[in-house]
Amino acid sequence: MNYSYKFKNGSSINGNVAQIMEVAKILGEEVDAAQLGIIPKGYYMSETKGLIKISDMNPLHIKNALTKATYTYFQNIGKEKISLKEYLQKFLAFTDSEQIVDLFEELVKQAEKE
């Protein structure tokens, strides 16, 4: 999927996430996921490093990100106006959060390498 992205120096690019990240790296910038409108599958919006590929994260960073994403997920479902049954389904199977699934799967891959 292609996105339109504008860098801090005013230049723009239309390209996929990998292309945008490559140009950002050359310019010494972090990619702001808010400009893309989404966090693409396989990526994580880090408060310290900007948009990064989950497979490039170290295990400690993934664990911290997974903890934060899970905490946020449970905070948000508590605020939703849904039935008790829907709440329980979301609580027990929180795999509807693509970010949590991506982080978890990468952590499993890295654990298998140990």
pLDDT the model gives residue 93: 72
Q: How many CA atoms lie within 13 A of 54 on its CB side?
A: 24
pLDDT the model gives residue 47: 86
pLDDT in tens, 20-55: 989 998 999 888 888 888 888 889 988 888 889 999
Give the list of residues 6+ apart from residue 110 with CB closer than 8 angstroms, or none: 59, 62
Angle at 111 between CA 43 and CA 33, to 5 degrees: 10
pLDDT the model gives residue 60: 94
CA-to-CA dists, residue 106 to 4, 35, 50, 98, 114, angstroms:
28, 25, 18, 12, 13
Angle at 100 between CA 96 and CA 104, to 5 degrees: 125
Model-level pTM greater than 0.75? Answer: no
pLDDT in tens, 63-102: 999 999 889 888 888 888 988 888 877 777 766 778 888 8
Specify whether the CB–CB gap between 39 and 99 falls below 8 A: yes
Q: How many CA atoms lie within 13 A of 108 on its CB side?
A: 6
Specify whether the CB–CB gap between 14 and 4 falls below 8 A: yes
At residue 1 the predicted structure's pLDDT band, cuts being 50, 70 and 90, is confident
pLDDT in tens, 54-74: 999 999 999 999 999 889 888
